[in-house]
């Protein structure tokens, strides 16, 4: 049992529904077996339990662990390929790298780099776009399990258009997916995600095999890409006889409350209505959309249509693992949309990077904020003296202002500690898997 003492910021109620930032100075959080069992003024909690060990983190700020709902494990080493639209970037940057993961030694190194990226950024829960190779997905599950991260991932499947080493057949996709799911789905904090790459590279036959896996693996998740880039959308319409991009998935029963579709930069109203009606979620990936020039995410239309949204880094088209950077870029985008944009506060950004992600992944009962009954997934921001964030926090006029400074100035270097389910997995530059 540990009594944490910190300034705690979280957003238990959505700011899109009237919620505000909950900030508590000198807050006490009692954590037992990884779960927050009491919360209140530190002095009150401490007086009630004078013998419990106290971890004094009053310097800096504590936030819930960050949630990334769209991040590609095989692309960690190609982050930063700028200057290309989606389809050129796939051809020139992503796909050649992804082919290398057929080699298990390469896959092990990439998985190590990837998990390090997540941990250092304070991402404790992620929906991870896997690899086309079952052996590499196995390695990813193993790495996530070692660190205790809350990872949902699976085999990426495609049966057309991509380079030949990345292609499979509907039958083989089904068999390999079922095999991976049987070994990893529900083990510890891991779950299986059925993952056709995108309809452009997935025929109806392979989408139907995905649907079979999704139906048969109880509690599995579905993820893919949708409406990211205009050239891609035009090709989809040709390939599927004019069907909308969302419909290419929906007609196979793949758009559900357990579905997270990345991007949706260019949806029609009918597609938004389908997503809302099915209670599916959209992963908004602003640095990726900006880097690839995909477009400005119509957040207002999503919110007004009642579509659930969360945030994704989309590493490696996205420019890094920092969900703080995604929040800031998401804010910029809504500003650039002028009257069509949604004005976002720092509380919206924190909610989008924590509770909204947990909700999209069906984990909102367990993580996303630091209320009693939740798992202790948390990060401690401790900027070094003189660091821009330290200067900003030292001059913040209010808690909301301090949180704005976190998004404007915070980097992964400011993450001073990371806990998942009560286990500390990183402290400053030190990081280590928990011993279990």
Given the rule CB under 6 A, which residues bind ligand GUN? 72, 86, 90, 94, 197-198, 225, 228, 288, 314, 317
Q: How far is the CB of 37 from Zn ion (least distance, A)?
A: 38
User: Is the CB of 198 or the CB of 331 nearer to ligand GUN?
Assistant: 198
Contacts of 242 (CB under 8 A, 6+ apart): none
Report the b/e string of 150-172 with b at 16+ CB within 10 A: bbbbbbbbbbebbeeebbbebeb
The encoded tokens of residue 167 equal: 């292609």
Q: How far is the CB of 400 from ligand GUN (least distance, A)?
A: 32
Among 10, 314, 326, 377, binds Zn ion (CB under 5 A): 314
Is the distance from CB of 356 to CB of 24 less than 8 angstroms? no
Binding-residue total with Zn ion (CB under 5 A): 2
Residue 132's binding partner, choosing from ligand GUN, Zn ion, none, with beta-carbon cut-off 5 to 8 A by kind? Answer: none
Q: How far is the CB of 251 from ligand GUN (least distance, A)?
A: 20
Q: How many CA atoms lie within 13 A of 220 on its CB side?
A: 28
Residue 198's binding partner, choosing from ligand GUN, Zn ion, none, with beta-carbon cut-off 5 to 8 A by kind? Answer: ligand GUN
Q: How far is the CB of 189 from ligand GUN (least distance, A)?
A: 24
User: Is the CB of 6 or the CB of 292 nearer to Zn ion?
Assistant: 292
DSSP 166-232: G---HHHHHHHHHHHHHHHTTSTT-EEEEEE--GGG--HHHHHHHHHHHHHSTT-EEEEEES--HHH
The encoded tokens of residue 136 equal: 């590499």
Where does residue 164 fall: left (phi above 0), alpha (psi -120 to 50 degrees), or beta otherwise?
A: alpha
User: Is the CB of 233 or the CB of 280 nearer to ligand GUN?
Assistant: 233
Within residues 228-267, the interface with Zn ion by CB under 5 A covers 262
User: Is the CB of 30 or the CB of 76 nearer to ligand GUN?
Assistant: 76
Q: How far is the CB of 88 from ligand GUN (least distance, A)?
A: 12
User: Is the CB of 75 or the CB of 346 nearer to Zn ion?
Assistant: 75
Q: How far is the CB of 243 from ligand GUN (least distance, A)?
A: 18
Q: How far is the CB of 21 from ligand GUN (least distance, A)?
A: 31
User: Is the CB of 6 or the CB of 200 nearer to ligand GUN?
Assistant: 200
138 binds Zn ion (CB under 5 A): no
Contacts of 179 (CB under 8 A, 6+ apart): 134
Please state, in angstroms and rounded to a whole number, the distance separating the CA atoms of residues 64 and 23. Answer: 12
Instruction: Supply the DSSP symbol for 375.
Output: B
Report the b/e string of 174-200 with b at 16+ CB within 10 A: bebbbebbeebbeebbbbbbbbbbbbb
Site track for Zn ion across 260-299, x = CB under 5 A = --x-------------------------------------
3-class DSSP state for residue 291? helix
Within residues 56-95, the interface with Zn ion by CB under 5 A covers none
Task: Give the interface segment with Zn ion, choosing from 40-48, 131-139, 311-319, 402-410 (CB under 5 A).
Answer: 311-319
Largest CA distance in the chain: 69
Q: How far is the CB of 402 from Zn ion (least distance, A)?
A: 32
Q: Of 235, 320, 239, 307, which is closest to residue 267 (Cα–Cα)? A: 307
Residue 197's binding partner, choosing from ligand GUN, Zn ion, none, with beta-carbon cut-off 5 to 8 A by kind? Answer: ligand GUN
Bridge partners (DSSP) listed for residue 22: 10
Please state, in angstroms and rounded to a whole number, the distance separating the CA atoms of residues 324 and 330. Answer: 10
97 binds Zn ion (CB under 5 A): no
Q: How far is the CB of 95 from ligand GUN (least distance, A)?
A: 8
User: Is the CB of 86 or the CB of 389 nearer to ligand GUN?
Assistant: 86
Task: Give the interface segment with Zn ion, choosing from 50-58, 99-107, 309-317, 384-392 (CB under 5 A).
Answer: 309-317
98 binds Zn ion (CB under 5 A): no
- Other CB atoms within 10 A of residue 66 CB: 28
Residue 4's binding partner, choosing from ligand GUN, Zn ion, none, with beta-carbon cut-off 5 to 8 A by kind? Answer: none
Please state, in angstroms and rounded to a whole number, the distance separating the CA atoms of residues 290 and 214. Answer: 32
Residue 147's binding partner, choosing from Zn ion, ligand GUN, none, with beta-carbon cut-off 5 to 8 A by kind? Answer: none
Q: Of 139, 126, 121, 132, which is closest to residue 97 (Cα–Cα)? A: 132
Please state, in angstroms and rounded to a whole number, the distance separating the CA atoms of residues 87 and 293. Answer: 11
Residue 156's binding partner, choosing from Zn ion, ligand GUN, none, with beta-carbon cut-off 5 to 8 A by kind? Answer: none
Residue 329's binding partner, choosing from ligand GUN, Zn ion, none, with beta-carbon cut-off 5 to 8 A by kind? Answer: none
Which residues are at the interface with Zn ion (CB under 5 A)? Answer: 262, 314
């Amino acid at each position: 049992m540990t009594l944490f003492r910190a300034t705690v910021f979280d957003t238990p109620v959505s700011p899109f529904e009237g919620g505000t930032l909950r900030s508590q100075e000198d807050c006490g959080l009692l954590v037992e077996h990884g779960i927050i069992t009491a919360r209140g003024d530190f002095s009150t909690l401490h007086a009630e339990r004078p013998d419990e060990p106290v971890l004094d983190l009053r310097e800096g700020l504590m936030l819930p662990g960050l949630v990334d709902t769209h991040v590609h494990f095989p692309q960690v080493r190609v982050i930063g390929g700028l200057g290309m639209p989606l389809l050129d970037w796939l051809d020139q940057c992503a796909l050649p790298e992804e082919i290398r993961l057929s080699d298990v030694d390469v896959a092990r190194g990439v998985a190590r780099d990837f998990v390090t990226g997540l941990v250092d950024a304070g991402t404790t829960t992620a929906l991870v776009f896997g690899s086309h190779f079952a052996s590499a997905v196995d390695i990813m599950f193993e790495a996530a399990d070692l660190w205790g991260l809350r990872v949902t991932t699976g085999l990426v499947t495609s049966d057309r258009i991509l380079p030949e080493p990345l292609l499979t057949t509907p039958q083989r996709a089904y068999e390999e997916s079922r095999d991976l799911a049987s070994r990893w789905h529900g083990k510890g904090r891991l779950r299986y995600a059925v993952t056709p790459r995108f309809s452009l590279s997935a025929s109806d036959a392979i989408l139907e095999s995905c649907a079979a896996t999704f139906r048969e693996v109880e509690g599995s998740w579905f993820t893919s890409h949708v409406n990211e880039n205009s050239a891609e959308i035009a090709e989809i319409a040709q390939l599927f006889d004019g069907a909308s991009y969302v419909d290419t998935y929906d007609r196979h029963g793949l758009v559900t409350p357990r579905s997270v579709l990345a991007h949706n930069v260019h949806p029609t109203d009918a597609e938004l209505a389908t997503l809302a009606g099915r209670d599916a979620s959209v992963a908004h990936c602003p640095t990726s959309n900006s880097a690839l020039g995909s477009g400005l995410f119509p957040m207002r239309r999503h919110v007004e249509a009642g579509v659930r949204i969360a945030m994704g880094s989309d590493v490696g088209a996205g420019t890094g693992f920092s969900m703080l950077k995604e929040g800031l870029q998401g804010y910029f985008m809504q500003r650039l949309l002028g009257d069509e944009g949604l004005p976002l506060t720092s509380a919206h950004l924190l909610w989008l990077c924590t509770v909204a992600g947990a909700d999209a992944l069906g984990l909102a009962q367990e993580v996303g904020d630091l209320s009693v009954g939740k798992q202790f997934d948390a990060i401690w921001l401790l900027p070094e003296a003189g660091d821009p964030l330290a200067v900003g926090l030292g001059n913040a006029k209010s808690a909301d202002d301090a949180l704005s400074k976190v998004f404007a100035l915070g980097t992964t270097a400011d993450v001073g500690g990371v806990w998942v389910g009560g286990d500390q997995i990183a402290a400053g530059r030190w990081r280590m898997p928990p011993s279990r």
